[in-house]
Amino acid sequence: MKMLFYFLLLFTMIECNQDKKSSNANKAILKLIEKEFDFGEISRTDTINHRFEFSNTGEIPLIIKNVSTSCGCTVPRWHKESILSTKKGFIEIEYVPNSIGQINKSIVVEANTDSSFTVVYLKGVVKEVK
């Protein structure tokens, strides 16, 4: 009877582990080099360009479906082609200040990853032109 119990326990553990592996096998994994970029202090007439780099550490191609920003002053650009497993890609952000003060902009990346949405941040301080 004990042998049967241990056999069923072992079988259940193996099956649960297989379920985890199969659910991850159907997803790409977007691994960011950085999740936040602090541009420091800039003038209101400056423009910031930054590249958020990432790699696909999943087993299937990474497809970035959309990139949205928290305002029209932040413009994203990205490759529309899929990123193969182990390959790298990037999302370019152009920020043109439309106000002064502390800036915290969020950029939402929608992809075929486990959580579907990944957020990166752009922050800094915009000073008035002297």
Spatial separation of the C-alpha atoms in residues 124 and 120, rounded to whole Å: 14
Confidence of residue 1 (pLDDT cuts 50, 70, 90): low
pLDDT above 70 covers a percentage of the chain that reads 81
SS3 sequence of 102-120:
EEEEEEEEEECECCCEEEE
Q: Which CATH class is domain 28-127?
A: mainly beta
Q: What is the pLDDT of residue 6?
A: 46
Q: What is the pLDDT of residue 19?
A: 46
Alpha carbon of residue 104 to chain centroid: 17
Q: What is the pLDDT of residue 113?
A: 94
Residue of 37, 61, 17 lying closest to 120 (CA atoms): 37
Spatial separation of the C-alpha atoms in residues 24 and 59, rounded to whole Å: 8
Domain boundaries, the chain: 28-127
Tell me the mean pLDDT in the region 90-99. 95
